[in-house]
Each structure stands twice: as C-alpha cells, then as structure tokens.
Amino acid sequence: MKETAVVLVRPREEGNVGSAARAMANMGLERLILVEPAAELGKVATAFAVGARQILDSCMRVPDLRQALAPFRRVVATTSMRDRRAGVPLVTPRELPGLLAEDPPDTPTALLFGPEVGGLTNDELALASLLVNVPCSPVQPTLNLSQTVLILAYELYQASGQTPLLPAEPPEPPAPTAEIDGLFDHVAEVLRRVGFERDDTFPGALRDLRRLAARAVPTGHDVAILRGICRRTERALERKGSGSGEP
C-alpha cells in the first residue's frame, strides 16, 4: 500500500480533494499527487479532510501528467465510459487487487482519477495499463471523485490483509434457570393482575412463553430488563387502583 499513490488530474473542487484525502487516510494510503491546473487547497479542503490534514500538507503538485507518472511502473486509470477501452483491460474495483498482486512486490503504482467534469481524456487513458470502471445504476452512472477514490482504496485495503480485527467482547453467559423461573413467576403474577388469566388455558400460555425464553437463551441482563418491565407495570396498576393520576 505504501507504494501506491493517488493521482488527481486537474481537480476543480478543493472539497473533493479534501474528501479524497480523507478516503485515502481511511484506507491506509498516504501519497497524493495533484496535476495542474488543480484547485487551491484552503479551509474547505481542510474541512473535508477530517483526520487527513497531513496528506493535504504533504501532497505534491506537478505541472503535467507525464511528470506525475514518471516514478511509477504500473498505472491504473478510472473511467465511466466503456467505449474508451481501446484494447486495455477494463476491470471492476473488486478485480483490481488480484491483478495488481501479479506484479512484483512493492511495484510503484499510480491510481489515476480524472477531473470532476468529463473525466480523463482518451490520451490520458492511453497511459494506463489497466482501466477500472465502477458499475453503477444507469439512472446515475457516474460517481463523485472522492467516492471513486474511496471505492478503489477500500478494495485494495481489504485485499492487503491489513484490516484490523476488532477485539471480540466475551459473550454474556445465559441466565441461570433460577433467574428465569423467578422472571416467569413475576410475569405470571402481572398477567393475573391485568386479567389475562381467564380460563384453564393460562398454564399452557405460560408454558409457551417459557419455551420461547428457552429458545432465546436470555442473559442476566435480558432477565433484568424484563423484570423491570414487570415492576413498572405493577406500579402503574397500583396507581390506577388508588385513583392517582400521577405518571
């Protein structure tokens, strides 16, 4: 990933540059190159580059694309136009990491993105050995510049194996049977008070509820919440019985 650079060709909006920098930081990319004429980077770019100010501060500005691509051995360009292939392989972002993995390790690679209006020209696309097209709905077939940067960077990051695994919290053990029995004794009492016990089907209803609890495998926290509901219900019944209108 350290050998991969994002090259933005003639970006017009500094907000897009800032958002692209943030996307790079999210996915572990650090090297940003701007091909002139490119937007000046001020407060707007900084505002969009949350957590990625260092990428903006260290970005390179070069006068033309030829100079921008000079250090790189592999050039990957993005395009939304399928009729621009001209014999160059056209792949999806998901396919890109596997193809780049065929290169020698640490091959300097440039990810090339065109300006917001019009994208890369055919002459610029001709400099690439791979073209990437992000499949989109025909209703809106083009993406924002920074969105495209994020999608490609995401696929490369996932394929790199650097994705940190969040430490798994140990699962809370199931509640002891005694706690569940206490809960259902409480539930049965509340149901009686609200008039649910009307006939001899009541024991069967309680049994069905108990089976439901067995399938759900409630934890002590779950039991505590349900006991709290029962207590609130009892207090509401007591207030109603006493004629109090207080909540």
Identify the CA nearest to 48 among candidates 163, 155, 150: 150
Ranges in the chain, pLDDT < 50: 85, 247
**pLDDT of 168:** 67
What CATH class does 177-242 carry?
A: mainly alpha
- CATH level 3 topology of 4-160: Alpha/beta knot (3.40.1280)
User: What pLDDT, on the 0 to 100 scale, is given for residue 101?
Assistant: 92
Q: How far apart are CA 8 and CA 222, in angstroms?
A: 52
Domain map of the chain by residue range? 4-160, 177-242
Q: Distance (Å, rounded) from C-alpha 235 to C-alpha 247?
A: 10
Residues in contact with 53: Cβ distance below 8 Å, sequence separation at least 6, in sequence order: 46
pLDDT at 38: 95
Phi and psi, residue 35, nearest 5°: -95, 125
3-state secondary structure of 222: helix
Q: How many CB atoms lie within 10 A of CB 211?
A: 10
Q: Tens digit of pLDDT for each residue in 80-130?
A: 865 554 567 789 999 999 999 999 988 999 999 999 988 899 899 989 999
Per CATH, 4-160 and 177-242 having the same topology is answered no
Q: Please state, in angstroms and rounded to a whole number, the distance separating the CA atoms of residues 243 and 73.
A: 83
Q: What percent of the chain has pLDDT over 90?
A: 66
Q: What pLDDT is stored for residue 165 in this prediction?
A: 61
Give the pLDDT score at 170.
81
Residue 3 confidence (pLDDT): 85
